[in-house]
Structure 1
Amino acid sequence: MTKGDELRAAIAAQGSVLVMFSGGLDSALLAKLAHDALGQRAAALTIDSSVVPRSETALAKEVADAIGVRRYVLTLDEIGLAHFAANPVDRCYHCRKHRDAEAWRWAHEHGLDTVADGLNYSDLSDYRPGLKAASEDRIWHPFIELRVTKDDIRTLSRELELPGWDRPSMACLASRFPHGFAVTGDRLKRVDRAEEYLRALGFKKVRVRYFPYELGLVEVDDLQRALEHRDQIVARLRELGFGFVALHLEDFASGTMNRTAGA
């Protein structure tokens, strides 16, 4: 039995599943496998929120349409949560508790037995307080249960010809802020638009970290190219409201803000 077949069998055994669906690589594969295994007894739920990049919201619809899975959109406002906006080290925990509660409410209203997400076995090596919340909230992690890694997910997605299988991973926009530095709606919009601009310049892997004094720290996968576009990048970020613009000199890596969590 292939890994894909193992996953389909495990999903089918759940009876019905609601997939927490961002449209990213992990949740896209899970939604595809759930649709294969359960048909109309599978659904995908996308959270629309100010912490979600606009490009990801558009991608979620595109991917769901390609898969054929039923998709629904739920609008949430995490900025209104005190434990979220203050940006403590366990911000992800509080956000995830809120999202899980809403996902379960939606699942119960629509007669679905299981809520699942795309967390994978490779995620266990990173600092993820949201995983603790999800485990408390009985969210099912089929990729973790069957020890499916990020590389496995990319391979399966390529074999299934899922759109975006080769896209770099994205993350919640709030992850661009050091812990203890307040997350606001204006700052989130600033980050999102700055990253959209950098992608339009041709960068594939992009993060704009937001620090006090309105400092925007640009992380990209091609430092030389960034230096060649230095004046344009500085001008655009200043136009968006950043007071200072800096270039991160280390190689691009996801999760670098976890250093401030002591992880």
Structure 2
Amino acid sequence: MSPQLVDRATADVARQLSGVSRLGVAFSGGVDSSVLLALAARALGPARVVAVLGVSPSLAADERAAAHEVARFIGVPLAEVETFEGDREAYRANGPDRCFHCKDELFTRISAATAVEHGLDAVAYGENADDVKRPDRPGARAAAAHQVLTPLATAGLTKADVRRIARALALPSADKPAAPCLASRIPHFTPVIPRKLAQIEQAEAALRRLGFTDLRVRHHGELARIELPPEDLRRSATEPLRAAVVEAVSAAGFRFVTLDLAGIQSGAFTRAAMASSPSAQEAP
């Protein structure tokens, strides 16, 4: 089924990009943006596509390196654009609409500099058909405001479809766990500052070196709340690994190290905040 799915998806993307001379793909190295980049390269040709990676303190160094690896594999040039969402008071305030301000900064920077430098006449990003149904993705409003294209969602490609396409194309990110930005680990209405982002990055990188590939380190002041898949929870609490986990996370500056028995909860902070404050969904 995968070759047919890839061919159909490529044709759908090609139709949506009809008339586009040079496309910029807002790129993170995750599976969604990787598949979009690969399909766009197949549809337009690699020379007419540019991967655009936003770089700021909220992007972990490991994620930055991985994004470059995927772009090289696909054969598309990658342009880095420095973003300054941390200068925005609304972003630092860390309300449920934080992602709006982050994506608005990214798309503004792409339009202001990268599009001119690389001759882009359109920008797309990796929203899929499942994302459209979620109420906790304020970044999508920023994409709409900047007229950013959503080829995967428009083609009706679900997350499962995206994974199948990635595997069929043997993309390095095919089985990569979701990796939201570091700011997503900080509870809403708690300020986002570089020191916290650096602590989270250091703790998560140390845990990956211990063999954990899918994880979150939630920042609750002096307390780090580690989220892991259920199969990793027991392993992480068993000696000698337990002591190594505590040491790794404590070295990042946390006084208390805890395991969340509920496991990984994608978007937990944003969904909870929106549920308690429906008006947050209407925020700019």
TM superposition score category, shorter chain reference:
over 0.9
Structure 1 unaligned runs (5+)?
A: none
For the 8 Å contact 2:215–2:228, the answer to whether it is kept is: yes
Aligned residues: 262
Q: Which moved more, 1:49-58 or 1:71-80?
A: 71-80
Judge conservation of contact 1:50–1:77 (CA < 8 Å) in 2: no
Q: Does 1:120 align with 2:132?
A: no
Q: How does 1:1-263 map to 2 (within 5 A)?
A: 2-39=8-45, 40-105=47-112, 106-126=114-134, 127-212=136-221, 214-221=222-229, 222-228=232-238, 229-263=241-275
**In 1, Cα distance between the equivalents of 2:59 and 2:18?**
30
Q: Deviations over 1:8-45 (max 9, x none)?
A: 33234433211011111111111111222222221111
Give 1:258 deviation, angstroms: 2.0
Could you say which residue in structure 1 is the equivalent of 2:3? none
User: What displacement does 1:72 show?
Assistant: 0.8
CA distance in 1, matches of 2:88, 2:23: 28
Letter in 2 for 1:166: D
Q: In structure 2, what residue type is equivalent to 1:23?
A: G
Unaligned runs of 5+ in 2: 1-6, 276-284
Distance in 1 separating the partners of 2:259 and 2:236: 8
What TM-score does the superposition give when structure 2 sets the normalisation length?
A: 0.88
**Structure 1 residue 124: Cα displacement:** 2.1
Mapped contact 2:11–2:43 kept (Cα < 8 A) = no
Please state how far the C-alpha of 1:175 moved relative to its aligned partner: 0.4
Provide the aligned C-alpha RMSD in A: 1.5
Distance in 2 between residues matched to 1:38 and 1:78, nearest whole Å: 31
- Report the CA distance between 1:109 and its aligned residue: 3.8
Asked if structure 2 preserves the Cα contact closer than 8 Å seen for 1:96 and 1:133, the reply is: yes
For residue 98 of structure 1, report the CA deviation from its aligned partner: 1.1
Shift of 1:4: 3.0
What do the CA deviations read for 1:209-251 (whole angstroms, capped 9, x no partner)? 0113x21100011110110122221222222111221110113
3-state secondary structure, aligned to 1:2:
helix
Offset at residue 51 of structure 1 (A): 0.4
Checking the alignment, whether the CA contact within 8 Å between 2:54 and 2:82 is kept in structure 1 is yes
CA–CA separation in structure 1 for the residues paired with 2:154 and 2:253: 44
Work out the percentage of aligned pairs sharing the same amino acid: 37
Runs of 4+ in 1 over 6 A off after TM superposition: none
User: Do the aligned residues in 2 keep the contact of 1:12 with 1:37 (CA within 8 Å)?
Assistant: no
> What amino acid is aligned across from residue 97 of structure 2 in structure 1?
D
